[in-house]
Amino acid sequence: VLLTQMGWGDLGAFGEPSKETPHLDQMASEGMLFLDFYTANPLCSPSRAALLTGRLPVRNGFYTTNAHARNAYTPQDIVGGIPDSELLLPELLKKAGYTNKIIGKWHLGHRPQFHPLKHGFDEWFGSPNCHFGPFDNRALPNIPLYRDWEMIGRYYEDFKIDLKTGEANLTQIYLQEALDFISKQQASQQPFFLYWAIDATHAPVYASKQFLGTSQRGLYGDAVREIDDSIGKILKHLQKLGISENTFVFFTSDNGAALISAPKQGGSNGPFLCGKQTTFEGGMREPAIAWWPGHIPAGGVSHQLGNVMDLFTTSLSLAGLQPPSDRQIDGIDLLPAILQGKLIDRPIFYYRGNEMMAVRVGLYKAHYWTWSNSWEEYSKGIDFCPGQNISRVTTHTQEEHTTLPLLFHLGRDPGEKYPLSFTSEEYQRVMERISVVVQQHKATMVPGEPQLNVCDKAVM
């Protein structure tokens, strides 16, 4: 699994006008492009927890109840993290003999009990958190990097990021880690799960020297080019080692492009509304490509509604394992969609915190709540929908539409600009169908213990 923070519109294959992702575009032309693929949350930590557990954040605990419909993640002073009761993908794969490695950002808690090697991973190279900073080194230390159990340095101090030039060679380090791990596994003929979760496109954006200034898109584009180049090298390495036909590769993103960082450090969500942090399409619809030469028909395109949680179930399926039966799993097995072109009927739920903001069923999306961000944030220049303003939709107060949800047809209106008329026959017919889906979902929903409620500087 290759995971970044890129927007749907950041790849040439998805219509980025500079078309600077030749390797990802080639990956798509050799594999399958998913046009309707989603994350489970418009923010990093919950999205990654969902990917590794196959469960919505509201079930696995990666949310807060401190306020209604609030996004939450794992800052340095967070007390919580991934509960032991959660079964992570590497824990299960280990039983089938897989060696599991995470390279890059973990984001599921930084206290010792949440360490990736306590949750199924055999190896780790990366950080528990994003490369924010630099901080002072007393109240707020710089984010550490680990090799397995050992803390080997800190961002900015030992792993340089030049905030003026944007230069950092971290993606190259992460690439080399991936190539080495793959070589080692191939040499020992051991099956492996590699979770390559790099963060060059997350602000503060960086790229290696040889990529700086190479993009039409500025520093963000330089970072995209380096990631694209690295993914090309990983795929080529698999082919060179002769294991590409035994290796299922999936590329996607943990949330939409952070438009708040635009134009210098933000990406593109193509024709979609708003970005990261929001439950509009720009916040949660992700670029996605499956690649498995000899198995996936080259140049395939799928309209299967997919979700990062499906990578949990699909990976288990590839390993010949069943998902756990003692808990609700939200991810589905995508293999029938990928290998046989089937379309599996399933809804997509858009959450903030423990509130279901919206749901997609087929081509229709119903908003039960709308919120971009608060007036308070907005007045400070924090804008998740820059240049976009849709009455009753991009609201700066939490607007409830639970009695009459705002309904959009994402085929005719991918930008969520034109709510269907409440009095139309189409609205009535579709909402009847969607209401059943939502009722079923809510009736069986048992929220997990919220993990992201408490921060305490003492845990840093």
Which residues contact its own copies (rule: CB under 8 A)? Answer: 8-9, 12, 14-19, 33, 35-36, 215-218, 220-221, 262-264, 268, 270-271, 273, 301, 303, 363, 386-390, 409-415, 417-418
Helix (H, G, I), strand (E, B) or coil at 302: strand
* Known binding-site positions: 44, 254-255
CB of 29 to its own copies, least distance (A): 8
Which two three-digit tokens encode residue 341?
Answer: 């072109």
Residue numbering of the annotated binding site for Ca(2+):
44, 254-255
Instruction: In angstroms, give the least distance from the CB of 35 to its own copies.
Output: 5
Question: With respect to its own copies, which residue has the nearer C-beta, 86 or 222?
Answer: 222
C-beta of 176 vs 395, nearer to its own copies: 395
Give least dist CB 66 to its own copies, A: 32
Q: Which is nearer to its own copies, 270 or 448 (CB)?
A: 270
SS3 87: coil
Active-site residue, 455 included: no
Q: Starting from the edge strand earliest in sequence, which strands make up the sheet with 355-361, in order?
A: 348-352, 355-361, 364-367, 406-409
Asked if residues 286 and 309 have their Cβ atoms less than 8 Å apart, the reply is no
Alpha-carbon distance values, 214 to 23, 207, 379 (Å): 15, 10, 35
The residue among 327 and 409 lying less far from its own copies, judged by its C-beta, is: 409
Q: Are 10 and 22 in contact (CB under 8 A)?
A: no
Q: Are 279 and 394 in contact (CB under 8 A)?
A: no
What's the min distance (Å) between Cβ of 382 and its own copies?
15
Question: Is position 385 annotated as part of the catalytic site?
Answer: no
Q: What tokens were used for 228? A: 């694209």
Q: Pick the catalytic residue: 23, 107, 237, 401?
A: 107
Closest separation in Å from C-beta 394 to its own copies: 8
Q: Which member of 23, 44, 110, 115 is catalytic?
A: 44
Residue identified by tokens 């994003």 is 130
> What is the DSSP code string of 148-174?
TTEEEEEBTTTB---TTT-B--HHHHH
Cβ proximity to its own copies, 8 vs 250, nearer residue = 8
Question: φ, ψ for residue 186 (rounded to 5)?
Answer: -65, -40
**Cα-based angle 448, 452, 458 (whole degrees, multiple of 5):** 135
| 3-state class (DSSP) for residue 106 | coil
Cα 218–219–223 angle (5° rounding)?
120
- Residues labelled as active-site residues: 44, 107
